[in-house]
Amino acid sequence: MKKVIMLTSLFLILFISSCVPPDIFEPGELKQLTEKIVFCGTFGVPGTADGQLNNAWDITADKDGNIYVADTGNNRIQKFGPKGNFIMKWGTPGTGNGQFSAPQAIKIDSSGNLLVLDTGNNRIQKFTTDGRFLMKFGETGTGDGQFQQPYDIGIDPRNGNIIVADTGNYRVQVFNSKGKFIRKWGELGSGNYQFISLFSLDVDHLGNIYTLDLGTRVLKKFNPDGKILRKWGQVGINDSEWQTPFRLAVDPNGYVYMTDIAKYNVIKFTPQGDFVMTWGEMGGAPQYFISPVAVYADETNIYVSDLGVGSIKIFRTILE
């Protein structure tokens, strides 16, 4: 009986060993995996018809993969399927509910609704993802809860707070999900808590806020209360440097993506500001860029709006 048990144990050990990749036992032969960007497709052409775009300044996507575009020049929002097929649109020029004046930024909030930064009207409007108006807040001015040409918004996934790049007032403002003012920071200048042209921001899964200042070409990271944690940015021609940074986005894992319209590329950083990779070059081919502006990254894809060709381009990261 003991011999049977010993033989059975030996067989199990040999069987299990045969199922384990040899690399586990030979770490010296492990291959270092590297990230690679693959081009997945593109949609959109310049124009005013359904599915056509006129200065698409921002993009986002919902949990089902549907894509929403701030069709800024056409003063409307357009909704597309995961493969870029046109689904619906809403919005006309004006100041009424559901009307827009140069909508610059869009985000899906924690309840699955769509927030639109109606820049020309200095307000934020909230809609369901099928375009039904829900609420609005904000007005022109310099006081708490007022805006001067705001250019971007972010959503804190922990609590639904809305963070606004109040560009003309050189500050960041934070609101709760119902549009009630919570806090602000910033003034004109180039210091840690100052801005010259606060053009883009986003929020990570921990509530940290990343800002991009076109005036100083510096990216800053703040904690949820507005305390600066770090900043980085170097003008140059190397892969980790930039010329004209334009918009940023943070993916669900905290990695930061930034478009550079002068270098025709997208740069990826760790949450600590360390360079990860870059891709893109100038060209008319679908996978290249003429004027990359907006960028959005979810668990699966990276979306880039290329104003130069009036299209949205979709990429994916793979390991090889």
What pLDDT, in 10s, does the model give residues 104-140?
A: 999 999 899 999 999 999 999 999 999 999 999 999 9
213-243 per-residue burial string, b: 16 or more CB within 10 A, e: under 16: bbebbbbbbbebebeeeebebeeeeeeebbe
Q: Identify the band that residue 30 occupies on the pLDDT scale cut at 50, 70 and 90.
A: low
Q: Identify the band that residue 301 occupies on the pLDDT scale cut at 50, 70 and 90.
A: very high
CA distance 284 to 280: 11
Q: Identify the band that residue 32 occupies on the pLDDT scale cut at 50, 70 and 90.
A: low
Q: ∠ CA(17), CA(18), CA(22), 5° rounding?
A: 80
Question: What's the average model confidence in pLDDT over 263-271?
Answer: 97
- Give the count of alpha carbons within 13 A of 30, CB side only: 9
Q: What percent of the chain has pLDDT over 70?
A: 90
Q: ∠ CA(156), CA(68), CA(59), 5° rounding?
A: 65
Q: In this predicted structure, which of 14-18, 139-143, 201-205, 271-275 has the lowest mean pLDDT?
A: 14-18
pTM value > 0.85? yes
CA distance 105 to 38: 26
Structure confidence at residue 16 (pLDDT): 30
Question: What's the average model confidence in pLDDT over 86-98?
Answer: 98
Question: What's the average model confidence in pLDDT over 164-175?
Answer: 98
Residue 175 has pLDDT above 50, yes or no: yes
CA distance 29 to 222: 41
Per the prediction, the chain carries an average pLDDT of 91
Q: Identify the band that residue 7 occupies on the pLDDT scale cut at 50, 70 and 90.
A: very low
CA distance 252 to 204: 7
- Quick: pLDDT tens for 178-221: 999 999 999 999 999 999 999 999 999 999 999 999 999 999 99
Structure confidence at residue 319 (pLDDT): 84
Burial (CB count <10 Å: 0-12, 13-18, 19+), residue 129: middle
Residue 20 has pLDDT above 80, yes or no: no
Q: What percent of the chain has pLDDT over 90?
A: 88
Residue 90 has pLDDT above 90, yes or no: yes
Q: Output the CA–CA distances (angstroms, integers) from residue 129 to 50, 77, 94, 246, 316, in the order listed.
A: 17, 10, 21, 27, 24
What's the CATH class of domain 34-319? Answer: mainly beta
Residue 11 has pLDDT above 50, yes or no: no
- Quick: pLDDT tens for 245-265: 999 999 999 999 999 999 999
Structure confidence at residue 13 (pLDDT): 33
CA distance 18 to 204: 42
Q: Is residue 153 within 8 Å of 124, Cβ to Cβ?
A: yes
Residue 12 has pLDDT above 90, yes or no: no
Strand order in the sheet with 103-108: 103-108, 114-118, 123-127, 133-137
Domain-wise residue ranges, the chain: 34-319
